[in-house]
Amino acid sequence: MSARPEPETHVAETEKDDAHWTAQMIAVGAARDRAAFEDLFRHYAPRIKAFLIRTGLAPPVAEDCMQDVMVTLWRKAHLYDPARASVATWVFTIARNRKIDMIRKTRRPEPEDLTWGPEAEPSQADVVAMRQESARLAQAVAELPERQRDLVQRAFFGEATHSEIAAATGLPMGTIKSRIRLAITRLREAMPEGTADRDRDGT
């Protein structure tokens, strides 16, 4: 567990950054830390609910959905991989999936999971690099001219057709992609023989 940051305590809300939320998420996953979970709840629950309302859920439905998301966050916390996604990204995917599952009443198809083998934990350097790239993208979104930020938001809130956001806005999508690609490659290398490339051409 040496790669894992220690859970933080006594941090003012204004000083809570991505590193703080990563530490709290890992504390929940590794130690079932309820205080860390309550901290995550206070930060993310209102944002999840706001996001769900913007995608078209009525407020009472969004409230129910948000509560399910937070319970899922608790249950799946041990699967959170800080080398592959920021906490915000991970929370976003859980909220998106829960919303769709509620509407469709079936489980949405998800790509196959890639998980670290028991021997291979993400290095602290990878975790920090992932966090920095995520923060960089978030910063770029925040600094977009209003019309372009609006375009990005409308794509996510289902109000716009999907044009290629990166091309339209100049967001640094390539760098975050490279960072994630690196994490995936390391995962593949850490996987048991025979599962890393199971396509039948044997290459």
Partner 1 sequence: MSIRHPIGDDLLLGFAAGTLPAAHDLVVATAVSLDDDARARLGGFETLGGALLEQADAAPVGDDALTAVLGRLDEEEDMAPPRRICGGIFPAPLQDAVGGDLAAVRWRPVGMGARQAVLHRSPRGTARLLSIPAGQAMPDHSHRGTELTLVLTGAFRDGDLRFARGDLQVADASTEHRPTAEPAEDCICLVVTDAPLRFAGLLPRLFQRFLGI
CA 126, 127, 128, 133: dihedral to nearest 10 degrees?
80
Residue 124 CA to chain centroid, in angstroms?
Answer: 18
Quick check: 130 and 6 in contact, CB under 8 A?
A: no
Binding test (CB under 8 A) with partner 1, winner from 23, 25, 127, 137: 137
Q: Is 203 in the site for Zn ion (CB under 5 A)?
A: yes
Q: Scanning residues 75 to 94, which ones bind partner 1 (CB under 8 A)?
A: 75-76, 79, 84-93
Q: Scanning residues 138 to 167, which ones bind partner 1 (CB under 8 A)?
A: 138, 141-142, 152-153, 155-158, 162-166
Q: Is 129 in the site for partner 1 (CB under 8 A)?
A: no
Q: Scanning residues 12 to 41, which ones bind partner 1 (CB under 8 A)?
A: 34, 37-38, 41
Binding test (CB under 8 A) with partner 1, winner from 6, 13, 15, 110: 110
Buried b (16+ CB within 10 A) or exposed e, 13-24: eeebebbbbbbb
Query: Cβ of residue 39: shortest distance to partner 1, in angstroms?
Result: 11
By CB under 5 A, the count of residues binding Zn ion is 2
Nearer to Zn ion, 60 or 202 (CB): 202
Place of tokens 């829960």: 98
Binding test (CB under 5 A) with Zn ion, winner from 145, 192, 199, 200: 199
Rg over CA atoms, the chain: 18
Binding test (CB under 8 A) with partner 1, winner from 19, 27, 48, 83: 48
Q: How many CB atoms lie within 10 A of CB 51?
A: 21
Q: Which amino acid is at 60?
A: P
CA distance linking residue 70 with residue 131, whole number of Å: 22
